[in-house]
Amino acid sequence: MISRNIEGRERFFEFGMRTFVFIHKLTGVNDMPEVFERLANKKRSEVEGEFLDEAIMGQIEHMEFVAKFLFAAAKTASELNEEPIDYNEGSIYAWIDTMGWSDCLSLIQELSEIYILKNLKAPRQGPKKEIA
């Protein structure tokens, strides 16, 4: 969980499984890799796994997805901290305006790096059951 001082108040953001659920409800995206593609606004190469240079969404569509992602991350953090949700999706756009686009993208990059690092350490498959 990370925080930013926005409009004189500490706001928290968490990127985890619950965030994906909120993103799905807000955007209809069903696939975790697609969330990362949309955040980067680039399609992954099938061969190398690297992002291609071409944008996959228009600028406004990308800004909308970023705002919905940050709303989901803030809502996840609020639930985990058992804090009231005193903001809405519209508030997130004001936060982005206050932070600036560059800082907003830095926040998303930081959240993504934390998520990826946590999950690189996770086992690739669950425990194996013994068959009797």
Q: What is the mean pLDDT of residues 8-16?
A: 94
Give the domain range for residue 86: 2-120
Which pLDDT score, from 0 to 100, does residue 50 have?
73
Q: Render pLDDT for 50-82 as a digit per residue (tens, 0 to 9).
A: 777 778 878 899 999 999 999 999 999 999 999
Domain annotation covers residue 80? yes
pTM for the predicted model, two decimal places: 0.83
Q: What is the largest CA-CA distance in the chain?
A: 61
Domain annotation covers residue 127? no
Reported as half-sphere exposure (CB side, CA atoms, 13 A), residue 117 has a value of 6
Domain annotation covers residue 128? no
Structure tokens at 26: 């807000």
Domain count, the chain: 1
Domain annotation covers residue 125? no
